[in-house]
Amino acid sequence: MLLAALAVLAVVAVFWTDTQRGRKLLVKWGVPEPSEPQVKTALHYRRLRWACYPFLLAATALVTDWVVGDDDYSGLSIPVALLLSAAIAELLALPTSRHAPPVRHPLFSLVPKWGVAFYSITVLTTIVLGFVDLSVAQYATSMLADNIATGEDSPFAQHVPFVVPLVATAVVLLAVAVVLRMSATRSFSADSEVDRALRVRSARVALALGAVSQVFYALPLAYWRIPAIAGKWGSPPNDSAVDWAHQVDGIATLPLVVLVYGTLACWPMLASPPNRRGLFHKRTTGVS
């Protein structure tokens, strides 16, 4: 963990002093020839986020390791840390944003409707499958006791209370909501071109990180008992709980596979700029 923290600090130090990154960020998100003041604004935007990375990457990894008890699972907390960094950076930018005119933009001028719908599906899937998974909680407890007695491997989430994925879902949802709200309602810069580019980037990247965090971090903590039971007993004995687990597992497997690969496919599309025509020709005037 110490080596990882030092590596993160080294990376932050390199990116902190790289002024070309601010220029590239603006060019990528719709400012073709940024001036020096515009680049300075973009650097401030980036540095607010990079300043949060070392602490939040370490904190989310430590909390995950403490709650789940699996070192390998801690790596899946990285998208959560990046999302929390974005939300905190938006809050830290509030004093600066007070000096800019409060131009509002409709949410769907910043992010696509399908992106919001997809993220909503990931949240609902986690909650619904989590409660369905609880239907076999008593049987799963019995199975885990047998595994411990016989020395067999147990599911990684065996000691994770159901409240943990619910809290994780709530934290991710709150972080996404904060970034989307700030992006839509407050200005980051008095320069309208830079302000628009940074708002679009913040909103789209937050939505992408929210979907990834939900599917790869929160969902596996909520839905694990039914797959564990279905995997342990290949042919259901005369037991209603095992039979129920097999039925649910058979129904849920394909949609979950689609959701996982759909998230991997949607992530780069959400976290990338919209097409140039959409960015420059479909702007909303905004209401002060």
- What per-residue confidence (pLDDT) applies to 156? 57
The answer to whether the beta carbons of residues 123 and 173 sit under 8 Å apart is: yes
pLDDT mean across residues, the chain:
82
Residues of the chain with pLDDT under 70: 1-9, 11-18, 95-100, 141-158, 233-239, 276-288
Q: Could you give the CA distance from residue 237 to residue 244 in angstroms, rounded to a whole number?
A: 11
Instruction: Map residue 152 onto helix, strand or coil.
Output: coil
The pLDDT of residue 239: 66
* Distance separating alpha carbons of residues 104 and 285, to the nearest angstrom: 9
Q: How do the residues of the chain divide into helix, strand and coil, expressed in percent and rounded to 5?
A: 75, 0, 20
Given this model, what pLDDT does residue 186 score? 85
